[in-house]
């Protein structure tokens, strides 16, 4: 082929740097350092010997040690707290997903009397601060003899994460074309089969984002566990972490190790779900 018949390729040109671009990049870098440095300092302090943590001048180069983690995990009932935290968190998230799938499908697909009122109630429940419900939850638990109960705490966390789960999944279900569901029904599927085979596989981003939000909310919750579960054997890592300094006096290394262990599950879940979850939170908020 001759040179005259070849299609010229477009040359990629770099956009010139402007003052605004440089300022944005610098601001992003500064914010990243501000947010990341406390986490780095917590983790590095958990690996330092005690005498290097309490120095007047910060120590950046040190010989790592796992002694602080041994001290933290050796506390009485530590693994009981871990088990309780995982049970109430995972249980609340699974229950919220199960109920929210049915509720969000009904809100997005069906037309019935009171539908707008239900949507409004879900929005109000999402915006309301749950701290104001602590006394009411305590009285309900006391009247039903369910204080210091893991199942009751799971139900409380389930109620806390349910509104966001319904609202987000409603957006995803509404974004799925009705024609896909109708085509499946024409092919012989029942409405339940059409939901399971057509709609449910398309809800992966929404399920990921709501699972991540629910996990973080239930894992970090403090006020409810403080009021409802006074018995040490029914407490979670959140309350144990606040008592750590009292238990060890001035052992900041063990305290930082405990904080790192507490943050680790959230980090693992986020890294596992982050690709789907980031897009899911944005999409579910604007669709429908």
In a shared domain, residues 259 and 218? yes
Answer for the pair 211, 89: CB distance below 8 angstroms, yes or no: no
236 and 211 in a single domain? The answer is yes
What is the model's pLDDT at position 244? 63
Residues 44 and 131 in one domain: no
Q: Are residues 20 and 137 in the same domain?
A: no
- Domain containing 28: what range? 16-68
Residue 267 to residue 166: CA distance in whole angstroms = 24
Q: pLDDT at position 227, please?
A: 87
**What is the crossing angle of helices 150-175 and 115-127, to 10°?**
120
Torsion sign over Cα 124, 128, 130, 131: negative
Give the pLDDT confidence score for residue 275 in this predicted structure.
Answer: 64
Q: Do 118 and 224 sit in the same domain of this protein?
A: yes
- Answering whether pTM is above 0.85, one says no
Within a domain: residue 6? no
166 and 269 in one domain? yes
**Look-up of token digits 């040109």:** 13
Q: What is the pLDDT of residue 253?
A: 84
Say what the pLDDT of residue 288 is.
42
Q: Distance (Å, rounded) from C-alpha 173 to C-alpha 183?
A: 16
pLDDT at 277: 56
Residue 182 CA to residue 186 CA, distance in Å, equals 6
Query: Does 3 fall in a domain?
Result: no
Please report whether residue 222 resides in a domain: yes
Asked if residue 4 belongs to a domain, the reply is no
Mean pLDDT per 10-residue segment, the chain (288 residues): 48 64 86 89 88 81 87 86 93 93 86 82 81 86 90 92 88 84 83 82 83 89 87 87 63 85 87 63 43
Same domain, 48 and 157: no
Distance CA 203, CA 195 (A): 10
DSSP per-residue string spanning 46-66 = HTS-HHHHS-SS---S-----
My answer on whether 47 and 162 are in the same domain is no
What's the CATH code of the domain at 271? 1.10.3720.10
Kindly state whether residues 50 and 88 are assigned to the same domain.
no
In angstroms, the CA 157 to CA 154 distance is 5
Does 272 lie in the same domain as 166? Answer: yes
Tokens standing for residue 286: 């604007």
How many domains are there within the chain?
2
Please tell me whether residues 36 and 89 are part of one structural domain.
no
Cα–Cα distance for residue pair 54/253, rounded to 1 Å: 10
Residue 7 in domain: no
Three-state secondary-structure class, residue 2: coil
pLDDT at 152: 92
Last residue of one domain, picked from the residues 53, 68, 83: 68
What length does the chain have?
Answer: 288
- Look at residue 12 in the predicted model and tell me its pLDDT: 55
The CA R_g of the chain, rounded to the nearest whole Å, is 25
DSSP string, 146-175: -TT-HHHHHHHHHHHHHHHHHHHHHHHHHH
**176 plus 263 within the same structural domain:** yes
Asked which of 49, 68, 87 is the last residue of a domain, the reply is 68
**What pLDDT, on the 0 to 100 scale, is given for residue 125?**
81
């Amino acid at each position: 082929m001759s040179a005259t018949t070849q299609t010229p390729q477009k040359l990629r040109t770099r956009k010139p740097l402007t003052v605004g671009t440089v300022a944005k990049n610098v601001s992003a870098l500064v914010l990243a350092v501000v947010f990341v440095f406390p986490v780095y300092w917590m983790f590095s302090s958990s690996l330092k010997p005690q005498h290097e943590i309490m120095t007047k001048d910060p120590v950046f180069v040190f010989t790592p040690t796992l002694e602080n983690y041994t001290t933290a995990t050796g506390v009485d009932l530590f693994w009981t707290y871990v088990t309780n935290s995982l049970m109430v968190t995972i249980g609340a998230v699974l229950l919220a997903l199960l109920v929210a799938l049915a509720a969000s499908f009904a809100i997005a697909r069906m037309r019935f009397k009171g539908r707008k009122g239900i949507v409004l109630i879900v929005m109000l429940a999402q915006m309301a601060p749950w701290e104001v419900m602590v006394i009411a939850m305590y009285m309900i638990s006391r009247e039903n003899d369910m204080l210091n109960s893991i199942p009751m705490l799971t139900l409380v966390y389930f109620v806390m994460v349910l509104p966001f789960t319904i609202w987000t999944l409603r957006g995803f279900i509404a974004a799925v074309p009705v024609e896909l569901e109708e085509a499946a029904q024409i092919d012989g599927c029942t409405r339940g089969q059409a939901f399971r085979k057509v709609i449910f596989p398309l809800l992966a981003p929404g399920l990921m984002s709501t699972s991540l939000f629910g996990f973080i909310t239930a894992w970090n919750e403090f006020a409810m566990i403080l009021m409802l579960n006074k018995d040490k054997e029914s407490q979670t890592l959140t309350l144990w972490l606040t008592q750590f300094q009292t238990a060890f006096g001035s052992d900041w290394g063990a305290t930082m190790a405990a904080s790192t262990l507490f943050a680790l599950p959230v980090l693992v879940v986020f890294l596992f779900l982050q690709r789907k979850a980031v897009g899911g939170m944005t999409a579910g908020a604007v669709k429908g």
